[in-house]
A and B are shown apart, each in its own frame.
Chain A
Amino acid sequence: MNNEHFTVEEMEALLSNPEMRERSQHLRVCGQCSEEVESLSAVMGDLRAAVVASTEVHRRLAVMPEPAHRMPLALWSAIATAALLCAAAPIALHHKPVHVAVVQAPVQQTQASVSDDQLMSDVQEDLSSSVPQGLLPLTAKDAPTGATGAISSSKENE
């Protein structure tokens, strides 16, 4: 190798064969080429190691599904519990009209108490009146009926 810097062909050969680097005279005298070969060699080594490690991770992920796909049981049980709670809540609320029926009972009692009062007042009236209702004299209510009848009969006679 001459004193000119390495061509791409020489560089490729040096990167692929570490033994060639030791034998190269130019590398000993040219700092620029020596630095470039060393730097490229280091970064290629890092690249290779990183690619191998990274593709291994990808291979594992491709072969085995991701953990998120492997725990649907817990997820499904949580969803089922939530669904059950959602279904049970309206049913529990729907059972409240039983209490409404209990509330309606006092209304019936009120009606019953009103009728009892009426009955009691009727009895009181009956007891307070000295003459029974059937034996009471004709009231003014009956009189107009008789008068009109008399007038009509007198007109017929005329």
Chain B
Amino acid sequence: MMPQQSLQSGELTVTENGGERVTPFDDIAAVHALYEDRIFRFLLLSVRDRDAALSLTQDTFLNAWRTRASFRGECSLATWLMYIAVNLLRSHTRTESFRFWKRVGATAVSAEDLKLQLPHPERSAEAKLIAQSELEQIWQRVEALSRPQRTIFLLRFIEEQELAEIAKVMHMPIPTVKSHLYRALDHIRASRSTGSKKKGKR
């Protein structure tokens, strides 16, 4: 078993303990405590259903523990977990694609939710309203992105993952990841410039 303190660094390596390989996933409870929020967040934003996201999060950790022998420490724990989560997400959306689309928006994160959670330390009421409006606008644009563009955008700007990690997680070469990411960002930039032009016209 891995001592829990060593997991606080977040980046752990595989160790040899008397000839026996020990992976961080041997102490799955500690890994779960550290990464559950992150995996759930990514899955909720992707699947747009909190019950399904919770179920997939549990499956992610279960699969991580089952396949712990194949973890060689070549990537971070977060990348490995995200890799499993993306695989589960793919099979989930493939098998339940109809119900998935039917359920869209049922318990998803909405623009209204985000506006309520907007951090506003020492902001004037006007600045707060402008920030809420911009947040709503950008979230609507993110929601309108294609699935790979959206996933890559979330991994990059919400989960703050490196491009190489995203490529590994998404089973894509880095240039493809960059292409999706730039298109997504371009789309958001274009919508913002259109929005500002409209505001200017008024």
Contact = CB atoms under 8 A, between A and B. Distances in A.
Contacts of A57: 113, 117
B114 interface: yes
Pick the 4 closest A-B CB pairs, nearest first: A53-B117, A50-B114, A55-B41, A62-B54
B186 interface: yes
16 contacts: A8-B182, A15-B185, A43-B131, A50-B115, A50-B117, A51-B109, A52-B158, A53-B117, A53-B119, A54-B114, A55-B45, A58-B53, A59-B37, A61-B107, A62-B40, A63-B54
A48 to B, nearest CB: 5
Instruction: Determine the interface band of chain B, counting residues with CB < 8 A from chain A.
Output: 35 or more
Contacts of A51: 41, 45, 109, 114, 158
A47 B117 contact: no
Contacts of B51: 62
B50 interface: yes
B80 interface: no
A62 B58 CA distance: 12
Given A9-B182, A54-B109, A47 B139 contact: yes
Nearest to A59: B40
Contacts of A48: 157-158, 160
Interface of A: 8-9, 11-12, 15-16, 36, 39-40, 42-44, 46-59, 61-63
Given A43-B135, A43-B138, A54-B113, A62 B50 contact: yes
A48 B160 CA distance: 10
Chain A facing B: main interface SS: helix
B68 interface: no
Nearest to A16: B156
A47 B50 contact: no
B135 A40 contact: no
Contacts of B45: 51, 55
Interface in B144-193: 156-158, 160, 178, 181-182, 185-186, 189, 192
A56 B36 CA distance: 11
